[in-house]
Amino acid sequence: MINIYQPSLGKEELKAIEKVFKSNWLGKGPKTDEFITKFSQKLVQDTFEGLAFSNVSYKNLIPISSCTEGLFQTVNLYVNEGDEVILPSISFIGAANAIVAKKAKPVFCDVDKRTLNVRLEDIEKKITNLTKAVIVLHYGGVPCDIENISNFCKEKNIKLIEDNANSPFSTFNNKSTGTFGDIGLWSFDSMKQLVMGDGGMVYCKNLKDIKKLQQEIYLGLLSQSGFNNQNDKWWEFDIDRPGRRSIINDIQAAIGLEQLKKIDKQILKRKLIHETYSKELNDYVDVPLPLDFTKTSSYYMYHIQTPDRDKLASFLRKKGIYTTFRYYPLHQVKYFKQLNVELPNTKYVTNNTVCIPLHQSLTNKEINYICKMIKKFKK
Ligand SMILES: *Cc1c(COP(=O)(O)O)cnc(C)c1O
């Protein structure tokens, strides 16, 4: 079976893990710090060729145990019981779960039919005076209309959270996605482009918020405890809020550092596969629209649209090609159905869209085989 997503890990990552073992320091430590620094440099490097944006530095970033935990922490920070949070129905389930966990209301909105990205007009339709936050996603790595959405949210005093799990180092007008809103979230789980087993990153615009988040994800501690505490009673500590423990460790960070070195090449490989797919399949199915010059993509997913989607997916599965549809609309999930919303574009997308394999380990032979099978079905 040809996998739809697949990590690329090798001897570099193994060597890096070995070094961490030998250092005798497995927990959150120097490798984690190095990962934050290198990640922030990469975010800035991709934007205006190294000209630093004042809103991105290592100070704005905290690694976190997963992107899902980041969503829970972020919603907890900004949203109160009874508030409304707007998000596309085509979102990751963890985003809606985080809203419900806070006893707030998820308000599902529509998306563009072709790009599956949320548009400002979709959000505007759902605004009420209870709207506290908006959670957007850059579908498949392609930036949504984030500048306009961000300006709108600022104007209305609504918090903007970017689920950037699909779009590591995608840019809009030369600025990295994930850094437009109040919070941006990355995922490094095993299905993503940069993997560390599990893990994530939080970008937080406001440094006061970052302090709170830092406490929330590390037991509420106000200062460093133990060895790093310069106090003459280094066992003492204080908290002013209770917190969980949602950190990453140096084993994960060491893997992440190696992955970071490979990410540009991996994105380029995905881009080439994207181009091949679009060229080959354009006459048979609806392929993703070409990017306009304001955007770059991480090329996380490749989706095609066709009215006989279900039959095509079954056919491909029988031919050893695994496909899926992301993200199954949340307003169709039993738990959220009572909200009773109608989203026509989402309905169209849900019945016509399938994501086909896209990862950097696909061989030319596999890519050709996938195209050939889709053409064969459509003939
Ligand atoms: C994978 C993913 C997540 C969750 O990331 P984890 O690190 O696995 O918790 C959230 N949002 C989107 C869009 C994702 O693709």
DSSP letter at 290? P
The structure tokens listed for 59 are 């100070």
Q: What is the CATH number of domain 11-259?
A: 3.40.640.10
- What are the boundaries of each domain within the chain? 11-259, 263-378
Residue 301 · residue 351 · CB < 8 Å? no
Ligand 1 centroid to Cα of residue 113, in Å, is 22
The pairing of strands 105-109 and 353-356 is unpaired
Q: At what angle do helices 67-78 and 93-101 cross, to 10 degrees?
A: 40
- The tens digit of pLDDT for each residue in 51-108 reads 544 468 889 999 999 999 999 999 999 999 999 999 999 999 999 999 999 999 999 9
When the candidates are 3.90.1150.10, 3.40.50.300, 3.30.1330.10, 1.25.50.10, the CATH number that belongs to 263-378 is 3.90.1150.10
DSSP 210-227: HHHHHHHTBTTBSS--GG
The pairing of strands 302-305 and 353-356 is antiparallel
pLDDT band at 235 (very low <50, low <70, confident <90, very high): confident
**Would you state the pLDDT for residue 44?**
85
Q: Which atom of ligand 1 is nearest to the CA of 198?
A: 7
Q: Which atom of ligand 1 is nearest to the CA of 192?
A: 1
- The tens digit of pLDDT for each residue in 49-58 reads 545 444 688 8
Cα–Cα distances (Å) from 91 to 175, 201, 250, 273, 326, in that order, read 23, 18, 30, 25, 8
**Would you state the pLDDT for residue 305?**
98
| Residue to substitute in 97, 137, 190, 192 for testing ligand 1 pocket (most ligand atoms within 8 angstroms of CB) | 192
Alpha carbons 12 and 15: distance in angstroms, whole number: 5
- The tens digit of pLDDT for each residue in 3-16 reads 999 999 999 999 99
Specify the residue for token string 């030319």.
364
Q: Which atom of ligand 1 is nearest to the CA of 91?
A: 13
For the CA atoms of 215, 37, 145, 87, the dihedral, rounded to the nearest 10 degrees, stands at -30
Instruction: Compute the Cα dihedral for 150, 154, 156, 159 and give only its sign.
Output: positive
Q: Which atom of ligand 1 is nearest to the CA of 69?
A: 9
Q: Which atom of ligand 1 is nearest to the CA of 68?
A: 9
Residue 357 · residue 274 · CB < 8 Å? no
Ligand 1 centroid to Cα of residue 163, in Å, is 8
pLDDT band at 225 (very low <50, low <70, confident <90, very high): low
Backbone angles phi, psi at 148, to 5 degrees: -65, -40
Q: Is there a shared CATH topology between the 11-259 domain and the 263-378 domain?
A: no
Q: Which amino acid is at 25?
A: W
Neighbours of 340 (CB within 10 A): 7
Ligand 1 centroid to Cα of residue 192, in Å, is 8
Ligand 1 centroid to Cα of residue 165, in Å, is 5
Q: Which residues line ligand 1 (CB under 6 A)?
A: 66-68, 92, 94, 137, 163, 165-166, 187, 189, 200
37 CB-near residues (< 8 Å, 6+ apart): 58
Q: How large a percentage of the chain has pLDDT more than 90?
A: 88
Cα–Cα distances (Å) from 249 to 17, 205, 270, 370, in that order, read 11, 24, 29, 39
Break the chain down into helix, strand, coil percent, rounded to 5: 45, 15, 40
Q: Is 364 exposed, middle or buried (0-12, 13-18, 19+ CB in 10 A)?
A: exposed
Ligand 1 centroid to Cα of residue 190, in Å, is 10
- The tens digit of pLDDT for each residue in 266-284 reads 999 999 999 999 999 999 9
Ligand 1 centroid to Cα of residue 199, in Å, is 10
Alpha carbons 80 and 295: distance in angstroms, whole number: 34
The residue nearest atom 5 of ligand 1, judged by CA position, is 67
